[in-house]
A and B are shown apart, each in its own frame.
Chain A
Amino acid sequence: MTETAQAPGHGPAKRRPKLDPARLRRRHRAERRFQLYGIAALAIATSALLWLLVSIVGRGYGAFVQTHLLLDVHFDPALLGISAEATPEALARADYGAVYKAALRGAFPEVTKRRDRRALYRLLSPGAADDLREALRDDPALLDRRAALWLTASDHVDMLRKGAIDRDTPENARALKNRQIAWLDRLDAAGAVESKFNTRFFSAGASREPELAGVWGAVVGSAFTMLITLLLAFPVGVAAAVYLEEVAPKNRWTDLIEVNINNLAAVPSIVFGLLGLAVFLNLFGVPRSAPLAGGMVLALMSLPTIIIATRAALKAVPSSIREAALGIGASDTQVVSHHVLPLALPGILTGTIIAMAQALGETAPLLMIGMVAFIVDIPTGPVDPATVLPVQIYLWSDMPERAFVEKTSAAIMVLLGFLAVMNAAAIFLRRRFERRW
């Protein structure tokens, strides 16, 4: 700016700048334009967020309800293949498939051809047998009696009802055939088709049948994985931060550690997966696909975040506290463990929760250590084969069935829900407990 003021040819006498109104207008237009660019950038960023959330919720909310069909069921011991005085074990093993098939035949007595009957049976999910088993377990008196029960419909019926299968598409390109739709319409007219809250989605493990698939197995797997991650990363991270911030002399070794921590924070997550595969699985023999292995890898990934957050929290504790404690005879370790750490704890916990939230959403390194296996059973411990929520989302997104799109989006909503709760907890902790000195 000083250069323009002393522009050549003007001389010392003509130092006043020329205020050309046209130029000023141009400059102000540029100013407004620049501001507009900023607003446009923010608008793009927030609308991208909105687009993402709307598209997920729009696809996924349907998965929370599931179509059920009301059928008149006869728990016929002959069909179940058991005697009238069966033990609970025999009841659990009985052939409920035959019962719901008989119920469907009873509702549509005119369907007699084998091929038509098979099409008829496909209106219900194989999970209808589980519905019947539960009904009989809850009320054993139903044996050899008739009852009207709501049974889980198949995924195609569900998709038709939610509008994902179009009635106008030609029959041979449609998953449900004309006669199946006609049967459904008859049931619907009789009030026997209804959407009910999909409890199975929250209580079941993975399944090849979309209507039977649930997130519970993945949620439990995530919980075990997070537990291992927390147990490993929290103590080690806090200890490392305390050492670097409170104890360590400033020398080459601590410099090297610092450089390492900063670099690890930026190493691609998939590289941690390769480390887990080569070291934890192949060298240490940690079981494949287990939350233990996943938790160890994620713990290494979360360490830098926890260390950096803990160091910031420790740094924020004023040195007067330390000096006061030292003054009344505390040792260095006592100063840290009795005074500095408790005061820094809210900040440490905030950082830890954020690190855990990151770890909960992490997928790529877990693919490397075999957590992509198809696992139906709900894991019962950290060495059982398991999968986690993000990996479940990845697996479902690959499934060819139309209904899995809905399930995937719903699983994403569950995952985002967990993350929102964790981040809200972190914000709450920060607002409520963090002290400014």
Chain B
Amino acid sequence: MSPTALVIAIFALALFGFYLGRRRAFAVAGGRHRALRSRPDYYGAYAALWCVVPAAAVGALWLALQPVIVEELVVAGLPEAKRALPADRMSLLLNDIRNVASGVIAGGARDPDILAAAAHLDRLTRIGHIALFAVGLAIAVAGLGLARLRIAPDFAARDAVERTINMALIVCSSIAILTTLGIVLSLVFESIRFFGQVAFLDFMFGLEWSPQTALRDDQVGSTGAFGAVPLFAGTLLITLIAMLIAVPIGLLSAIYLSDYASEWVRGVVKPAVEILAGIPTVVYGFFAALTVAPQLRSLGEAIGLDVASESALAAGAVMGIMIIPFISSLSDDVMNAVPQALRHGSYALGATNAETVKRVVLPAALPGIFAATLLAVSRAIGETMIVVMAAGLAANLTANPFEAVTTVTVQIVALLIGDQEFDSAKTLAAFALGLVLFCMTLVMNVVALHVVRRYREQYD
């Protein structure tokens, strides 16, 4: 009696309910559906909704609470010595029990207490699921019965159904807010725990980043060093390189495509540039690590420069290529929004095409281009795969683009990949870095979107 069986049973019942509701409506109307307030299908839908919604709500609540309650019972069933364990050891023990119960670890020569607890857990879970099945089905049937009682010729079934639909729409549109809330809360909570272990100022202004030592108690300074300045510097360096490539190329491309290119060239080249935006970042990362970086390295050797194989230049250059279409299509938008009358006025005064673009269109579009650049910067800062694959891991405080640097996103990935202890400063540091990243990009996005909106209104 798994929860899946319940879902299937309730949906079957809802189908039956739809049929039942329709038939009931016909019956109470004496077979003439003109006597009904709403169309017969709405009575069916009304019955089906009463069947599904309460049962689904109770079922979801049940499934959310059951593990917690079962865990309490299992802990209560453990021998005295095990119950007295500290919280972190207890969570490890529970993990073991869960794994044994779900058969992840074949229980060979194991602690008999764990085996017994696992059997206990298994039994309780099964009882819970059977009870859930019974309760869920009972609620569904009861809902159906209630709906059947309510159906009458002058009952406004359509209004009732539409109210439910509207509620569902509101819930769906609130998910965006819930997501933001979830992001903020999860980042803030974990970060607060992190700053309980590492001082906030040390994190924001420390020059030493070596989280690797954090797990080794025998080492001097076993908390590791969590000064994030080298990461911020590395992120900014790579972003700067990317922008130096993407902004001029993207802007000039947009100008050429909107003010010079013939219809034919535009039709061919514009999609080609936009393909760059559709290529997954992991592909750019591979390209940066295996093609661009070695080329840059051998190029550097040829002219006597020492280029690291994970240089900031390679990662930044490829990131710049990735961002070109972003800049070009956004600035294309804002330049198209500049009224044609301004251009015509400039031409009428005898200005050439280039002079019109440089002295009329660009100044008028400048806020929009600034916003586009800001959005591109925020994207570059948050970009992960290119730097994970092509930039270094070692925190290196340098402004030399030929050296390897590391970034915020690289460190988040490095800290969270593989086995993690959820309470160690090392894992929590990733959330603190994530919070910094989120705040930086949020500010840029809000400013950029605000500028774009203001700017659009200006010419509308």
Contacts and interface: CB of A to CB of B under 8 A. Distances in A.
B446 interface: yes
A270 B434 contact: yes
Nearest to A391: B282
A416 B279 contact: yes
A35 interface: yes
Given A256-B177, A260-B177, A405-B290, A269 B280 contact: no
Interface string B40-51: 000000000000
Given A397-B286, A397-B389, A419-B278, A264 B173 contact: no
A98 interface: no
A67 B224 CA distance: 50
Nearest to A17: B350
A239 B382 contact: no
A257 B321 contact: no
B287 A52 contact: yes
Contacts of B302: none
A263 interface: yes
Given A42-B256, A243-B173, A393 B162 contact: no
A35 B354 contact: yes
Interface residues of B, number: 90
A257 B290 contact: no
Nearest to A263: B445
Given A45-B276, A367-B417, A415 B382 contact: no
A28 B352 contact: yes
A116 B282 CA distance: 42
Given A394-B389, A397-B289, A362 B280 contact: yes
B162 A240 contact: no
Contact of A48 (B67, B190, B321, B357): B321
Given A271-B434, A408-B286, A31 B186 contact: no
A270 B282 CA distance: 13
Nearest to B183: A275
A335 to B, nearest CB: 11
Nearest to B256: A38
A41 B437 contact: no
A364 B413 contact: yes
Given A1-B349, A236-B175, A408-B286, A278 B190 contact: yes
Contact of B412 (A28, A243, A274, A361): A274
A49 B276 contact: yes
Give the interface SS of chain A, mostly helix, strand, loop or mixed: helix
23 contacts: A30-B352, A30-B355, A35-B256, A35-B354, A37-B256, A45-B276, A45-B324, A51-B291, A59-B290, A236-B175, A240-B173, A259-B449, A267-B442, A270-B382, A275-B179, A275-B183, A275-B186, A278-B431, A333-B165, A390-B280, A393-B282, A394-B282, A397-B285
Interface of B: 67, 158, 162, 165-166, 168-170, 172-177, 179-180, 182-183, 186-187, 189-190, 248-253, 255-257, 260, 269, 272-273, 275-276, 278-287, 289-291, 321, 324-325, 328, 346, 349-355, 357-358, 375, 378-379, 381-385, 388-389, 409, 412-413, 416-417, 422, 430-431, 434, 437-438, 441-442, 445-446, 449
Across the A-B interface, give the 7 residue pairs with the lowest CB-CB distance, nearest first.
Answer: A268-B382, A38-B256, A361-B280, A278-B186, A41-B252, A239-B172, A34-B354
Interface of A: 1, 17, 27-28, 30-31, 33-35, 37-42, 44-46, 48-49, 51-52, 55-56, 59, 235-237, 239-240, 242-244, 247-248, 254, 256-257, 259-264, 266-272, 274-275, 277-279, 282, 285, 300, 303-304, 307, 331-333, 357, 360-364, 367-368, 372, 390-391, 393-394, 397, 405, 408-409, 412, 415-416, 419, 423
